[in-house]
């Protein structure tokens, strides 16, 4: 099932996407029952599929990426925050901040939390997941190297593209995660290469940080990170979900 968030004229809302039609739903965190109101996909604008209170991103969580940057694999998940103000949706523009010299893409699988999660066990972790989406952990790489903390490098406006929708039926341990820059494949990994998988992350994070409905866990990026230039088109493709496409302004 694909859950979308969309704008139709002055209306915004959530819906279930089936083929080329969207049936509105009231609140995906309470019920997925349709209201009987339908919209054509071609007549709406897809928005970021969730409105997270926070994004918890995980660094160095692919063995391939740790090898690429010549760093040791973390013994525990390396967590950092991206603010809600950094979120944009499909087809929205990624804006390079003034002074940023290198702006990188990072293709990731995003895990969307479905209900309040506090001190969740690994055995029950997936009960708290609404579904999965494509995520681009946009990074000002030069700022990341300069700053001791990553708030600026990872949390600037437009640095969290999410979408195009939330897929509820997916095996998070076997998802191909790819990036295409101007149509050329530049990243290709699989979540079976994760150091800490979805179950481990939901449990670990919820034992120290309360996760709220709509929050996103960005699970990390595989090898292949590189810069984007103004005018570039970056696409994040996760198997079983779809394609998140944005342009660099």
CATH number at residue 39: 2.30.30
Specify whether 197 is located in the same domain as 88: yes
Take residue 188 and report the two structure tokens written for it.
Answer: 């290709």
Specify whether 71 is located in the same domain as 94: yes
Specify whether 109 is located in the same domain as 12: no
Give the residue carrying structure tokens 């897929």.
167
Tally of domains within the chain: 2
Specify whether 38 is located in the same domain as 61: no
Which residues is 7 bridged to in the sheet? 12, 45
Q: Give residue-wise pLDDT tens across range 9-58.
A: 998 999 999 999 999 999 999 999 999 999 999 999 999 999 999 999 99
How many whole angstroms separate alpha carbon 54 and alpha carbon 61?
19
How many whole angstroms separate alpha carbon 165 and alpha carbon 29?
14
Specify whether 86 is located in the same domain as 174: yes
Q: Is 43 exposed, middle or buried (0-12, 13-18, 19+ CB in 10 A)?
A: exposed
Specify whether 136 is located in the same domain as 14: no
Specify whether 75 is located in the same domain as 187: yes
pLDDT of residue 122: 98
How far, CA to CA in Å, does 138 sit from each of 1, 49, 86? 27, 18, 10
User: What CATH number is attached to the domain comprising 154?
Assistant: 3.90.850.10
How many whole angstroms separate alpha carbon 89 and alpha carbon 216?
14
Residue of 246, 221, 226, 223 whose CA lies nearest to 235: 246
Specify whether 180 is located in the same domain as 208: yes
Contact (Cβ atoms closer than 8 angstroms) between residue 73 and residue 63 = yes
pLDDT of residue 16: 98
Q: Contacts from 38-42 at CB under 8 Å and sequence distance 24+?
A: 39/6, 39/8, 39/15, 41/17
Specify whether 117 is located in the same domain as 63: yes
How many whole angstroms separate alpha carbon 125 and alpha carbon 144?
31
Specify whether 116 is located in the same domain as 41: no
The residues of the chain scoring below 50 in pLDDT are none
pLDDT of residue 48: 98
Q: Give residue-wise pLDDT tens across range 82-92.
A: 999 999 999 99
DSSP state of 62: B
Specify whether 144 is located in the same domain as 178: yes
Specify whether 32 is located in the same domain as 147: no
Which residue range is the domain that position 147 belongs to?
Answer: 55-248
């Amino acid at each position: 099932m694909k859950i979308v968030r969309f704008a139709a004229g002055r209306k915004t809302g959530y819906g279930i996407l089936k083929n080329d039609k969207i049936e509105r739903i009231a609140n995906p965190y309470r019920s997925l029952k349709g209201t009987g109101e339908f919209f054509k996909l071609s007549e709406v604008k897809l928005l970021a599929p969730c409105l997270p209170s926070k994004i918890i991103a995980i660094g160095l969580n692919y063995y391939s990426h740790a090898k690429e940057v010549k760093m040791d694999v973390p013994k525990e998940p390396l967590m950092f925050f991206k603010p809600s103000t950094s979120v944009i949706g499909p087809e929205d523009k990624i804006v390079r901040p003034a002074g940023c010299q290198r702006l990188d893409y990072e293709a990731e699988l995003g895990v969307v939390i479905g209900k309040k999660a506090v001190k969740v066990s690994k055995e029950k972790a997936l009960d708290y997941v609404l579904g999965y989406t494509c995520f681009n952990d946009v990074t000002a790489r030069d700022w990341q190297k300069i700053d001791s903390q990553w708030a600026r490098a990872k949390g600037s406006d437009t640095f969290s593209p999410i979408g195009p929708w939330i897929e509820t039926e997916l095996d998070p341990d076997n998802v191909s995660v790819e990036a295409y820059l101007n149509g050329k494949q530049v990243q290709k990994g699989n979540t079976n290469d994760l150091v800490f998988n979805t179950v481990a992350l939901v449990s670990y994070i919820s034992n120290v940080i309360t996760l709220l409905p709509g929050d996103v866990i960005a699970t990390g990026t595989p090898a292949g990170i590189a810069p984007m230039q103004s005018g570039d088109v970056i696409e994040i493709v996760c198997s079983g979900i779809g394609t998140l496409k944005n342009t660099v302004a």
